[in-house]
């Protein structure tokens, strides 16, 4: 067979050679050990939490080594393409601090020496290499129709190796004349790899996450160009990751079963294969078992969920690191104020079987992140969130932004800040009693606080509360009114002799707290009282008194 003539017949329009592209996209000039990684989304517009996670792993792999992280858009499947999808995905990433160094940096905008980064614009490159494979007798056109392929599929039901190989690879040895005749008749063809694989042999590789892997060699004559001349994922991956000089392919582990095909392609093409890091999917516990986090079943599978709920990106980032490396939490405990970038992330410490998504854990991580923020930051971030997702909260804030910040500052910026807020959508409830518009009275009491005691306490307190008091004076007033209502200011004393009293100062403060906030548990009551203002304090105490009088 004259392979050169065959290549020319199949690709008459290709006048370049692989050397041309090799020269155009030379190896990168990076320092020793710098890793080049990428995120290669198909433009579906949906960013799955698992994609974000894999992307973070890819990003950290590059950034921690002063390497390059780029975005390549895998848009060869035009049917799956959604307009505006790239913008949505890039925005989703940038929220979490993942900004590509090169590649597709905005919808339709590319930057970097290895462009184009849209696969749809790289047809000539793929076909150059395809032509070269044909010239070397390593790939061939296959004219099998969809019906013929269906028949083979049916016939192979009991075969362990499926696809086009061995006796099924009927068009491997078509003569040049026959190929020309079929092309002349207008028959559609795909280009298949003439797999050099040996069924008896194994393919070995060392996955950065999964460790040593051994699989049978690929023997299938996989399609490398579809009938429209567009490459399959397998072929595009090999060409692109080689020419873009990717050192580490970080991708979902659903691709691990295709790795023998990919390694074979790299070999046939004469490329040095990249290192692979196959990331296991994020799992969810269900009925005692585990399953993949599902776009269909789990709202938290969509990255937009976190923004909508108002989880700060810092929290999600920290949470993802707990999923990525189990030693992250120990590191965080030892390095409370360090930025996460300082964490020595390690691919080798990733879970092999898939980390478990746990909302309780995320909530916990986020509370810890938020409690360390100062009030201005909490205000700014939650205000930005509110403007988009909770106009009612934004409107409350806008009444008096300084007061809103002061409310958020209660029990903050101290050694043991409270951890009431896990996400911005917790705030409307958390601060509801600070605004008359949202305050809902609730007069339920706990401990020794009874309606009868409440009447006595409130009657006394209404007369003595003074918003100009400093904190100590404020508290002494509560203590001072204790004897008059049959309580002791001393909790210890009460515990020693409970029958001698109707309650203690804690019960007194509960009554006042419930009257002012409708709750038995709140942050610092002194600060709350001060921020409510004299008029509101008076009204709420009076209303509570009226209520308990009626109840009593
Ligand atoms: N476009 C592929 C996907 O979205 C990329 C896989 C890879 O990273 O190589 O699954």
Percent of the chain topping pLDDT 70: 100
- With a cut of 80, say whether residue 513 has pLDDT above it: yes
For 44, residues 6+ apart whose C-beta sits below 8 A from its C-beta are 80, 82, 85
> Which ligand 1 atom sits nearest the alpha carbon of residue 51?
4
Q: What count of Cα atoms within 13 Å lies in the side-chain half-sphere of residue 129?
A: 26
Mutate to test the pocket of ligand 1, among 37, 38, 42 (most ligand atoms within 8 A of CB): 42
Q: How far is the CA of 288 from the centre of ligand 1 (A)?
A: 31
For 211-235, b/e burial (b = at least 16 CB within 10 A) is: eebeeebbbbbbbbbbeebbbbbbb
Q: Output phi, psi for 474, to 5 deg.
A: -55, -45
Which pLDDT tens digit goes with each residue over 269-301? Answer: 999 999 999 999 999 999 999 999 999 999 999
Q: How far apart are CA 430 and CA 408, in angstroms?
A: 9
- With a cut of 80, say whether residue 120 has pLDDT above it: yes
For 138-155, b/e burial (b = at least 16 CB within 10 A) is: bbbbbbbeeeeeeebeee
Query: What's the whole-number mean pLDDT along residues 164-193?
Result: 97
Would you state the pLDDT for residue 251? 98
Mean pLDDT is lowest, of 43-57, 77-91, 381-395, 438-452, for 77-91
Q: How far is the CA of 407 from the centre of ligand 1 (A)?
A: 46
Would you state the pLDDT for residue 78? 76
DSSP result, 51-73: HHHHHHHHHHHHHTTT-EEEE-B
Strand order in the sheet with 223-225: 139-142, 190-193, 223-225
Q: How far is the CA of 45 from the centre of ligand 1 (A)?
A: 14
Query: What's the whole-number mean pLDDT along residues 60-65?
Result: 98
Q: How far apart are CA 17 and CA 124, in angstroms?
A: 10
Which pLDDT tens digit goes with each residue over 408-420? Answer: 999 999 999 999 9
Largest CA distance in the chain: 112
CB atoms within 10 A of CB 416: 7
Q: How far is the CA of 301 from the centre of ligand 1 (A)?
A: 17
Query: What's the whole-number mean pLDDT along residues 46-54?
Result: 96
> Which ligand 1 atom sits nearest the alpha carbon of residue 237?
9
Look at residues 485, 483, 504, 484 and name the one whose alpha carbon lies nearest to residue 494.
504
Q: What is the number of residues in the chain?
A: 552
Q: How far apart are CA 307 and CA 313, in angstroms?
A: 8
Average pLDDT of the residues of the chain? 96
Q: Which residues surround ligand 1 with Cβ inside 6 Å?
A: 40-42, 74, 237, 251-252
| Nearest Cα residue to atom 3 of ligand 1 | 41
- Cis ω on the peptide bond leading into residue 511 (within 30° of 0)? no
| Helix locations, 70-145, DSSP H | 85-95, 123-135
Q: pTM for the whole thing? A: 0.93
Q: How far apart are CA 89 and CA 106, in angstroms?
A: 10
For 66-103, b/e burial (b = at least 16 CB within 10 A) is: ebbbbbbbbbbbeeebeeebbebbbebbebbebebbbb
Q: How far is the CA of 84 from the centre of ligand 1 (A)?
A: 19
């Amino acid at each position: 067979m004259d392979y050169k003539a065959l290549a020319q017949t199949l690709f008459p329009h290709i006048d370049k050679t692989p050397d041309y592209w090799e020269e155009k996209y030379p190896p990168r000039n990076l320092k020793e050990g710098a890793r080049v990684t990428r995120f290669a989304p198909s433009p579906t517009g949906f960013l799955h939490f698992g994609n974000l996670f894999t992307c973070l792993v890819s990003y950290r792999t590059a950034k921690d080594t002063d390497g390059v992280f780029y975005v390549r858009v895998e848009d060869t499947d035009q049917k799956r393409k959604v307009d505006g999808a790239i913008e949505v995905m890039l925005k989703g990433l940038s929220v979490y601090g993942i900004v590509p160094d090169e590649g597709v940096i905005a919808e339709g905008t590319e930057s970097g020496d290895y462009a184009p980064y849209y696969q749809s614009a790289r047809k000539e490159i793929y076909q150059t290499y395809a032509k070269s494979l044909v010239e070397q007798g390593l790939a061939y056109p296959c004219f099998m129709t969809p019906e013929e392929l269906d028949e083979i599929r049916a016939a192979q039901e009991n075969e362990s190796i499926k696809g086009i190989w061995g006796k099924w690879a009927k068009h491997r040895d078509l003569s040049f004349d026959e190929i020309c005749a079929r092309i002349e008749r207008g028959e559609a063809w795909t280009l298949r790899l003439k797999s050099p694989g040996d069924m008896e042999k194994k393919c070995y590789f060392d996955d950065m996450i999964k460790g040593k892997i051994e699989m049978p060699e690929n023997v299938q004559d996989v399609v490398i160009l579809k009938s429209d001349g567009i490459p399959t994922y397998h072929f595009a991956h090999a060409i692109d990751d080689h020419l873009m000089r990717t050192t580490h392919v970080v991708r979902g582990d659903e691709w691990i079963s295709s790795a023998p095909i990919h390694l074979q392609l790299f070999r046939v093409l004469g490329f040095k294969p990249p290192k692979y890091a196959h990331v296991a999917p994020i799992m969810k516990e269900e009925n005692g078992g585990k399953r993949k986090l599902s776009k269909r079943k789990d709202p938290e599978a969509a990255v937009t969920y976190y923004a909508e709920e108002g989880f700060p990106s810092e929290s999600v980032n920290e949470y993802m690191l707990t999923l990525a490396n189990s030693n992250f939490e120990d590191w965080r405990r030892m390095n409370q104020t360090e930025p996460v970038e300082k964490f020595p992330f390690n691919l080798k410490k990733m879970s092999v079987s898939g980390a478990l998504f746990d909302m309780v854990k995320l909530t916990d991580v986020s509370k810890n992140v938020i409690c360390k923020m100062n009030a201005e930051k909490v205000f700014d971030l939650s205000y930005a969130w509110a403007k988009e997702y909770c106009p009612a909260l934004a409107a409350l804030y806008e009444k008096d932004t300084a007061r809103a910040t002061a409310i958020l500052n209660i029990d903050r910026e101290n050694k043991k800040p409270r951890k009431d807020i896990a996400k911005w959508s917790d705030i409307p409830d958390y601060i509801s009693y600070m605004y008359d518009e949202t305050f809902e009275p609730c007069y339920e009491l706990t401990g020794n606080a009874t309606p009868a005691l409440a009447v006595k306490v409130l009657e006394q307190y209404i007369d003595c509360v003074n918003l100009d008091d400093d904190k100590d004076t404020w508290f002494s007033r509560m203590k001072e009114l204790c004897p008059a209502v049959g309580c002791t200011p001393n909790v210890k004393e009460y515990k020693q002799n409970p029958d001698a009293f109707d309650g203690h100062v804690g019960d007194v403060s509960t009554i006042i707290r419930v009257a002012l906030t409708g709750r038995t548990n709140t942050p610092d009551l002194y600060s709350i009282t001060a921020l409510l203002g004299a008029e509101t304090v008076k009204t709420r105490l009076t209303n509570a008194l009226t209520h308990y009088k009626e109840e009593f």
